[in-house]
Amino acid sequence: MAGRLAERQPPCAPPAPEPMFRSFAQLQRMAGNQAVSALVIQRQQARRRRLQVPPTALVSIVVRDRGIDAGGATYADDLEAAKRILMGMRNAAEWTLVLAIHGSQDRLGAQAPPDWQRNARFYDAAAVNALFGGDPAFVRWRDQHGPARLVMLSCQVSARFERTLIANLTRPAGTGQTRQSPQGLGEGCRPMITIEQLVYDNPRLGFGNATIVTRAQWNRIPADDRVGLEQQLQDFNNEFGYFGGPPVPASEVLHYYFDLPPRGGWAKVEVGVGPHGSETPTGIPFWNRSSGPRRAEFNRLCDRGIGHLPSR
């Protein structure tokens, strides 16, 4: 038994367009105007039902560039589309939003290669405030159903800009609770995501160094062997948390591994340093980079967009 680093999953394909009738006139001849009207209403209602996202502990949204999807994310062309996706959710329980979008210092960009400027949309603090906090309908939704925590998978964002995003996108803290603190990254620092997957070798049971990605596979593994495999997930969880957020409850690591994005893998996020495309992983966990045991190293490598920080 062993855990290994899996190759990054390919970008998700765009959803197929919903099939449409070739001719409403043809349908009218067959069933009449009343039937057509009823069918249109049914189709609209079905479309609204499909947009309702079921309650879950984590929602991952990737904006514009499918290449930064670690797997299992919902696609949005821009932040306006992401906002519509969010407002289709109804979840009063605590949950985490993982938002992957290109960024730099105090700006986010809905853009993608190879032509980075084609139809690009950019968002500074004023634009974020107007789009989210300036929309009373969104504020009502956020305060009741919004995420309790935001994980910003964006390169080089400053701590002050992350504070703006947290304030706009997460629900207010309840009694005795505090809203998450911004950590930022700064110039040359970025999140690096790898998907850790369990590998199990037992030829007698039909497992030849098999990557475990489904519960059906898991249920075929003897209980004694599952103990060691699950401990690997606990180790990932304790050090790196899940998908850039803090560690999840120990009793739920299998649920996160199998059932939440990227589904069939543990999303490990660490701090990377260096120019785009040639980043060097540091091993510093992303979730507590500014407060954890390696904060001094993080402060030395990354200025969080607020200038050089002391190493202690």
pLDDT tens-digit profile, the chain (312 residues):
443 434 433 332 332 333 322 233 333 343 444 443 443 344 444 444 333 444 689 999 999 999 999 999 999 999 999 999 999 999 989 999 999 999 999 999 999 999 999 999 999 999 999 999 999 999 999 999 999 999 999 999 999 999 999 999 999 876 555 678 999 999 999 999 999 999 999 999 999 999 999 999 999 999 999 999 999 999 999 999 999 999 999 999 999 999 999 999 999 999 999 988 888 999 999 999 999 999 999 999 999 876 443 443
Q: What is the pTM of this model?
A: 0.80
DSSP state of 126: H
Which residue, among 94, 79, 90, 96, has the nearest Cα to 53 in the 3D structure? 90
What is the predicted pLDDT for the residue at 306?
A: 63
- Give phi and psi for 172, each to the nearest 5: -60, 145
CA 186 to chain centre: 20
Q: Spell out the alpha helix ranges (H) of 146-200.
A: 159-169
Rounded Cα–Cα distance for residues 259 and 98 (Å): 15
Helix axes 136-145, 79-87, angle to 10 degrees: 50
Whether 29 contacts 22, CB under 8 Å: no
Strand partners, 210: 200
Whether 28 contacts 211, CB under 8 Å: no
Q: Nearest 10 degrees: CA dihedral of 70, 261, 163, 183? A: -70
Task: Give me 117's structure tokens.
Answer: 């400027």
Whether 265 contacts 71, CB under 8 Å: yes
- Kindly tell me the sign of the dihedral angle through the C-alpha atoms of 83, 86, 87, 93: negative
Tell me the CA distances in angstroms from 111 to 12, 63, 101, 116, 162, one per residue in order. 16, 8, 8, 6, 19
- Is 61 strand, coil or helix? strand
What is the predicted pLDDT for the residue at 277?
A: 81
- Which secondary structure element, helix H or strand E, spans residue 295, and what is its range? helix 295-301
